[in-house]
């Protein structure tokens, strides 16, 4: 689970989460300045706002919809997407940016949602696998994943779909096998779907235009 | 009354049509149950079976709509986590959870401050909290005092005479098989008089399952005195064991287990385990739904693994390539259990007139191994195929010729030839190993695989049955508790049902992964598809019989005059009715029938066959091995869905390459802890490492059940490591005797040759 990196703390002495607590406050500060810009105009005398360590309001643009959540500055985008927002397509697997199962797009660029703080995503466009297409309205890459059987257990699939779809959008019909491999190089799959993922990405690219 | 049926069995062909496949066929006479469908023969043709059918749950998986256990979100959900010992061996002196208990948002705490912890990952405390953040803080606040003791965590240390023993009732960590060594023929005499004798010791690592979804469950006790458990399991019907139900405080018939989708098991996820029981206890105590999923680190530590092996082998044969005898002694650890699960399947496939094999389970201070995709086989076949390769070079006989000479399986005889042609054996096999000029050297190698999984007619003590529900609008639902762990179980059910009923696979409502339905088989031993397939067929037959009964009444004719063909029921004269129009005769409450799985019957070929060929390039300056091509030739009985079958073989090969080149649970020999419990340090194969895989599916009808299906998931990973190791040997002229074949080990092997 994504919350128990501290279990490792007993053995290791230093935790990523402890690091995030500090980093979170720092990163949060930037977001806070932006989001509170308007408020600051009304109250010019207010000192620099400090956010956290408790919950704070964060507004996210998720799949084209504004979503407001209460989150601690240390909470990752992945945690916020999954629990309060119930967008469980992005999966928690490694909790530290090693497997790509939580890949989403932030302002159109693929990121590991477990490596982005929710407050960092404030005001930016978040696209999850649910935002790409639905079972009865598949994105071309999702459809190609189904047609080429680019999925088995399916746990890594949402992440691979986001990486492959990004490659298809970047390169359109010019997408090469090497570019598709490169785009998916940060996504681990244990069932062994890679050959079919490549086929799916290249098949979807055939009918795609750049920036689609 | 059993019926006797004679039908044609044999090799149906394969999915790549570049070569002519030699005809392998025969008549098979079997006795089948009167309720069982007449077996599909070699010459039957199909509309869906054996074609490329996209999996029926593909769209929900590709869009994130599929809900896995980790995704279950219930009103009032609590999250639970674990504190565990990092030590191989320690007494737990105290566990102070006072600070954690006092934190706002911590709902329940359990501590286990007793006895000794005999493996890293032993649970010492469990916490249940309102949020992941509170849980994280609370877990960090638990203070545990250990008295660390010596305890060997790796096999070779545990084998030493003065090693601390895991089980104080035993004198040594090294187990002895109760029946002594396995002996066949007269191995000593065979070695005495042999023309060629080779020997070597092979080592394989501990491999963790590395399922992307960790072990765990969500437990909820409802107000009406029932409970629902969403579990990441390969067996909905076995998950709710006695420990779990007593933790919930409910009889088993009040506990519903649901596994709609499952993020990888590979043999590691069956019955509820320690942490699941704690989850159930929390749900009972807090009266709220609780989720407990393992962390990645804990998953690596205690989620299961393939035991390691040290295999000392000797092989004797003659100069013409005939193998005479194999002798071996094997050690491997399945952790702190007393030896179970270790061992290597390093004989079989080839005719070995004389055999002597002694295998020891070695107890270590580490967490238990678990069944892992073809238990004992990848390690055993790597060593067996490696020692045969040595023998072939020593005897001066082509390695493929040795295999053809000593392998009697009629299907594999064909497969060896298909594979050899596709890898370009004649051209790419180096006659003189290591003879390429320049630093990058290439070679090819091959290895065999085997399995035997015709499925079962029972689930525990119950007969395996599907409930089939048909409504007057023509809706058809097939219901059984069986789970789809990513193998394509849903799709196989849909294809077989659609084939029999003249529908499309997408028309079938497959309701599985839920103990509300009749008990489903556990997904182990590659038996799921062959077990359920025959029951689905029988279910579809019962539907057709019932509909024929309704039509006979409607038409005022005798039921015996009706027959079904391609989804249309034909009566006397030109009377006929489509499946849907027949369904309109069904009453408001629908039609319910059961499809029963009957016993397996005789088979023509016994085990399923398979073999793989690999081509590698080895950089002798850096030691880096690049797998350039793999040809995987497999049969799994009759293939139902060529597409998902190919995925299974890809998966087996990929896990096999990963095992051969990258994966190794590394243990600190002093501290006993795993030093690489993350995905950047425990490397599994990624997209950039993945070679082209040429999958050749030889569909074989061998008997056994009414569909002719056999399992495929496990056999596909059996030959891979051996084929790659033999390709490396062919490329560099020296054998790397340890897996994974890391650059350092390749360079060491090259140095040994030069030194």
Residue B185 belongs to some domain of the structure: no
C-alpha–C-alpha distance, residues B374 and B380, integer Å: 10
Residue of B nearest to A16 (CA): B136
SS3 content of chain B, % helix, strand, coil (to 5): 30, 30, 45
B617 is a domain residue? yes
The reported pLDDT for the residue numbered A25 is 46
3-state per-residue secondary structure call for A34-83: HHCHHHHHHCCCCCCCCCCCCCEEEEEEECCEEEEEEECCCCEHHHHHHC
B477-495: per-residue pLDDT in tens?
999 999 999 999 999 999 9
CB–CB contacts below 8 A, A to B: 227
Instruction: Give chain B positions within 8 Å (CB) of A2.
Output: 132
Say what the pLDDT of residue A10 is: 42
> In terms of domains, do B119 and B231 share one?
yes
Q: Which residues of A131-142 are buried (b: 16+ CB within 10 A; e: fewer)?
A: bbbebeebbbbb
Are the Cβ atoms of B140 and A188 closer than 8 angstroms? no
The CB density around residue B111, as the number of other CB atoms within 10 Å, is: 21
B448 and B485 in a common domain: no
Residue B74 lies in a domain: yes
Residue of A nearest to B61 (CA): A154
**With contacts defined as CB-CB under 8 Å, which chain B residues touch A157?**
61-62
Assess whether B540 and B646 both reside in one domain.
no
Domain end, chosen from B278, B293, B308, is at: B293
Looking at the predicted structure, is the pLDDT value of residue B341 above 70?
no
Which of A79, A153, A158 lies nearest to residue B64, judging by beta carbons? A158
Per-residue pLDDT, B17: 55
**Is the omega angle on the peptide bond into residue B414 within 30 degrees of 0, that is, cis?**
no
* Chain B interface test: which of A7, A19, A110, A137 (most B C-beta within 10 Å): A7
Instruction: Verify that B569 and B588 share a domain, yes or no.
Output: yes
Query: Hey, is the C-beta of B4 within 8 angstroms of any chain A C-beta?
Result: no
Same domain, B628 and B665: yes
For residue A26, give Cα distances in angstroms to A32, A96, B249: 10, 19, 48
Note whether B650 contacts A192, CB cutoff 8 Å: yes
How many domains is chain B partitioned into structurally?
A: 3
Q: Which of residues 209-268 of B touch A (CB under 8 A)?
A: 210-214, 216, 261-264, 266
| Shared domain check, B635 and B589 | no
Provide the domain limits for residue B437: 409-454+604-754
> Which CATH number belongs to the domain containing residue B244 in this structure?
3.90.1170.50
Name the residue among B410, B214, B231, B304 with its Cα closest to residue B665: B304
Domain closes at, from B293, B321, B352: B293
Q: Looking at beta carbons, which residues of chain A come within 8 Å of B293? A: 1
Chain B residue numbers with beta carbons less than 8 Å from the beta carbon of A182 are 688
Assess whether B442 and B468 both reside in one domain.
no
Name every chain B residue with its beta carbon within 8 A of the beta carbon of A131: none
Mean pLDDT of B213-219: 98
Domain assignment of residue B359, yes or no = no
Same domain, B532 and B584: yes
User: Last residue of some domain: B562, B596, B630?
Assistant: B596
Asked if residue B36 is part of any domain, the answer here is no
Is B490 within a domain? Answer: yes
Which H or E run contains B727? helix B720-732
Task: Look at residue B137 and tell me if it is in a domain.
Answer: yes
Residue B247 lies in a domain: yes
Q: Hey, what are B390's tokens?
A: 């040595």
- Same domain, residue pair B569 and B678: no
Closest Cα in chain A, distance from residue B81 (Å): 7
Q: Judge whether B51 is closer than 8 Å to chain A, CB to CB.
A: no
- pLDDT band at B348, cuts 50/70/90? confident
Claim to verify: residue B229 and residue B107 sit in the same structural domain: yes
Q: What is the pLDDT of residue B173?
A: 95
pLDDT, tens digit (0-9, with 9 covering 90-100), for B102-157? 999 999 999 998 889 999 999 999 999 999 999 999 999 999 999 999 999 999 99
**What is the per-residue pLDDT across B237-272, written as a single tens digit (0 to 9) for each?**
999 999 999 999 999 999 999 999 999 999 999 999
Comparing CB atoms, the residue among B63, B81, B680 nearest residue A98 is B680
**Which regions in chain A score pLDDT beneath 50?**
1-17, 19-20, 22-42, 44
Q: Write the pLDDT tens digit of every residue in B418-463.
A: 999 999 999 999 999 999 999 999 999 999 999 988 999 999 999 9
**Res B24: pLDDT:** 87
Does one domain contain both B698 and B619?
Answer: yes
Cross-chain residue pair B650–A184, CB shorter than 8 Å: no
If contacts are CB pairs under 8 Å, which of residues 679-698 in chain B contact chain A?
679-680, 684-688, 690, 692-693
Residues of A in contact with B673 (CB under 8 A): 11
* DSSP, residue by residue, B2-36: -EEEEEEEEEEEES--SSPPPP-EEEEEEEE-TTS
In this structure, what CATH number is given to the domain that contains residue B588? 3.30.365.10
> Are B551 and B635 within one domain?
no
């Amino acid at each position: 689970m994504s919350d128990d990196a501290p279990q490792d703390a007993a053995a290791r002495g230093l935790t990523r989460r402890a690091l995030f607590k500090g980093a979170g406050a720092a990163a949060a500060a930037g977001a806070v300045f932006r989001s509170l810009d308007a408020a600051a105009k009304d109250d010019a005398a207010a000192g620099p706002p400090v956010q956290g360590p408790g919950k704070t309001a964060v507004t996210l643009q998720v799949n084209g919809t504004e979503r407001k959540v209460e989150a601690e500055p240390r909470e990752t985008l992945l945690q916020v997407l999954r629990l309060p927002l119930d967008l469980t397509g992005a999966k928690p697997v490694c909790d530290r940016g090693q497997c790509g199962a939580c890949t989403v797009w932030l302002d159109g660029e693929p990121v590991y949602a477990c490596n982005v703080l929710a407050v960092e995503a404030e005001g930016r466009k978040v696209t999850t696998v649910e935002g790409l297409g639905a079972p009865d309205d598949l994105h071309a890459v999702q459809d190609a994943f189904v047609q080429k059987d680019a999925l088995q257990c399916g746990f890594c699939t949402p992440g691979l779909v986001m990486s492959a779809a990004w490659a298809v959008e970047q390169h359109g019909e010019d997408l090469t096998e090497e570019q598709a491999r490169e785009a998916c190089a940060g996504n681990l799959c244990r069932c062994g779907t890679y050959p079919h993922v490549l086929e799916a990405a290249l098949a979807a690219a055939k009918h795609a235009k750049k920036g689609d | 009354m059993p019926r006797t049926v004679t039908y044609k069995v044999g090799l149906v062909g394969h999915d790549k049509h570049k070569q002519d496949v030699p005809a392998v066929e025969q008549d098979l006479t079997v006795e089948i149950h009167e309720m069982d469908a007449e077996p599909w023969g070699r010459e039957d043709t199909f509309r869906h079976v054996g074609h490329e059918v996209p999996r029926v749950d593909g769209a929900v998986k590709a869009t994130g709509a599929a809900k896995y256990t980790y995704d279950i979100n219930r009103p009032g959900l609590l999250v639970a986590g674990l504190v565990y010992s990092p030590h191989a061996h320690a007494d737990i002196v105290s566990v102070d959870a006072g600070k954690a208990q006092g934190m706002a948002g911590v709902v329940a705490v359990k501590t286990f401050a007793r006895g000794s912890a005999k493996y890293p990952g032993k649970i010492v405390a469990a916490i249940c909290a309102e949020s992941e953040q509170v849980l994280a803080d609370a877990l960090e606040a638990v203070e545990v005092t250990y008295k660390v003791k010596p305890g060997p965590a790796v096999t070779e240390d545990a084998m030493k005479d003065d090693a601390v023993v895991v089980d104080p009732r035993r004198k040594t960590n090294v187990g002895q098989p109760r029946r002594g060594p396995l002996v066949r023929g007269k191995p000593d005499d065979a070695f005495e008089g042999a023309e060629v004798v080779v020997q070597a010791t092979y080592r394989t690592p501990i491999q963790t399952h590395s399922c992307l979804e960790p072990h765990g469950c969500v437990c909820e006790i409802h107000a009406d005195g029932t409970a629902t458990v969403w579990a990441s399991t390969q067996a909905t019907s076995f998950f709710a064991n006695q420990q779990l139900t007593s933790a919930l405080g409910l009889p088993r018939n009040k506990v519903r287990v649901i596994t709609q989708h499952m993020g990888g098991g590979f043999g590691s996820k069956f019955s509820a385990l320690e942490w699941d029981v704690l989850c159930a206890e929390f749900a009972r105590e807090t009266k709220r739904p609780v989720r407990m999923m393992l962390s990645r680190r804990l998953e690596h530590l205690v989620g299961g693994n393939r035991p390691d092996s040290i295999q000392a082998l000797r092989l004797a044969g003659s100069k013409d390539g005939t193998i005479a005898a194999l002798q071996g002694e094997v050690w491997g650890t399945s952790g702190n259990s007393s030896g179970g699960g270790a061992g290597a399947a390093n004989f079989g496939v080839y005719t070995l007139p004389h055999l002597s094999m002694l295998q020891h389970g070695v107890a270590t201070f580490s967490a238990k191994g678990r069944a892992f995709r073809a238990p004992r086989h990848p390690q055993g076949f790597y060593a067996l195929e490696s020692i045969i390769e040595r023998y072939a070079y020593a005897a001066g006989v082509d390695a493929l010729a040795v295999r053809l000479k000593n392998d009697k399986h009629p299907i594999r005889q064909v497969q060896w030839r298909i594979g050899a042609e596709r890898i370009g054996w004649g051209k790419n096999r180096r006659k003189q190993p290591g003879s390429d000029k320049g630093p990058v050297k290439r070679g090819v190698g091959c290895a065999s695989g085997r399995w035997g999984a015709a499925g079962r007619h029972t689930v525990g003590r119950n007969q395996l049955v599907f409930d089939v529900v048909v409504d007057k609008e023509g809706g058809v639902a097939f219901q059984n508790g069986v789970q789809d762990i990513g193998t394509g179980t849903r799709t196989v059910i849909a294809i077989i049902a659609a084939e029999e009923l003249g529908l499309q696979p997408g028309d079938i409502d497959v309701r599985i992964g839920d103990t509300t339905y009749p008990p489903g088989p556990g997904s182990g031993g590659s038996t799921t598809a062959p077990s359920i397939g025959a029951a689905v067929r029988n279910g579809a037959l019962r539907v057709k019989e019932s509909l024929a009964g309704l039509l006979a009444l409607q038409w005022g004719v005798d039921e015996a005059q009706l027959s079904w063909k391609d989804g249309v029921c034909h009566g006397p004269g030109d009377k006929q009715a489509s499946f849907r129009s027949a369904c309109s005769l069904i009453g408001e409450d629908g039609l319910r029938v059961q499809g029963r799985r009957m016993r397996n019957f005789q088979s023509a070929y016994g085990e399923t066959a398979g073999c793989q060929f690999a081509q590698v390039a080895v950089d002798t300056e850096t030691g880096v091995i690049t797998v350039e091509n793999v040809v995987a030739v497999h049969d799994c009985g009759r293939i139902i869905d060529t597409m998902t079958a190919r995925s299974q073989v890809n998966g087996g090969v990929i896990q096999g390459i990963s095992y051969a080149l990258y994966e190794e649970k590394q243990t600190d020999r002093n501290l006993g802890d795993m030093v690489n419990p993350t995905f950047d340090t425990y490397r599994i194969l990624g997209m950039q490492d993945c070679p082209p895989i040429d999958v050749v599916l030889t569909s074989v009808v061998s008997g056994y059940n009414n569909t002719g299906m056999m399992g495929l998931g496990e056999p596909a990973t059996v030959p891979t490591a051996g084929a790659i190791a033999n390709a490396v040997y062919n490329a560099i002229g020296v054998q790397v005797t340890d897996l994974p074949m890391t650059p350092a080990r390749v360079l060491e092997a090259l140095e040994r040759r030069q030194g």
